[in-house]
Amino acid sequence: MSRLGKKPIAIPKDTEVSVAGRTLVVKGPHGTLSRTLASTLDVKVEAEGVEIIPRGTSLDTMMLWGTFASHIQNMLEGVNKPYQKKLLIEGVGYKAEVKGDAVVLSIGYSHPVTMKIPQGIKVTSDKGLITISGIDKDVVGEFAAKIRSKKKPEPYKGKGIRYETEVIRRKQGKKSI
């Protein structure tokens, strides 16, 4: 039994939720999100909130029950207040620029690394800081992880790309005699 799935999910004001077939659509002040529902779950939209009803008691159905409750909660939050991830770039000569619909990273390779920005995402770059924002939590988190994977922070000098809240455990390095 899912603790999240049992409770109805409150709908904030200025937000509309509708179900058309197997598709859930959430409209809010910042945009519209949609998600295809699992075939083992039903969704009811009522005045007090969104309720998820499982169609059986199999293990897969019970796992999806709580997962879809979290997805719907994230959709409702995202259309009202966009999600934001911040990445820090540390290292001599390391920088990021936004050019059109791409992010160009200079991170110590012999060539610049270019990454296309997904639709629905806004990326800004200041000195040593990349800010990624958008209404879809999955897309924002995935794009931030892709940027970070291009140059993960190393433990000796801390050079690389890391999340703003991430703490890098530093190692001592070689000792000179």
Backbone φ and ψ of 166, nearest 5°: -75, 140
Topology agreement, domain 3-80 and domain 83-163: yes
* CB-based contact 2:73 (threshold 8 Å): no
Q: Sign of torsion, CA 122 34 73 40? A: negative
Domain residue ranges of the chain, discontinuous segments joined by + = 3-80, 83-163
Residue indicated by tokens 């909130």: 49
pLDDT for the residue 138: 94
- State the CATH architecture for 83-163: Alpha-Beta Complex (3.90)
Residue-wise pLDDT for 14-52, tens only, equals 899 999 988 999 999 999 999 999 889 989 998 889 999
CA 23, CA 92: separation in Å to the nearest integer? 48
Q: What is the number of other CB atoms lying within 10 angstroms of the CB of residue 166?
A: 11
Collapsing DSSP states into helix, strand and coil, what is residue 162?
strand
For 3-80, CATH gives 3.90.930.12
Q: For the chain, how many helices (H) and strands (E)?
A: 3, 12
pLDDT at 62: 87
pLDDT tens digit string along 127-142?
A: 989 999 999 999 999 9
Q: At what angle do helices 59-80 and 137-149 cross, to 10 degrees?
A: 90
Please check whether residue 88 is in contact with residue 129, taking contact to mean a CB–CB distance below 8 angstroms. yes
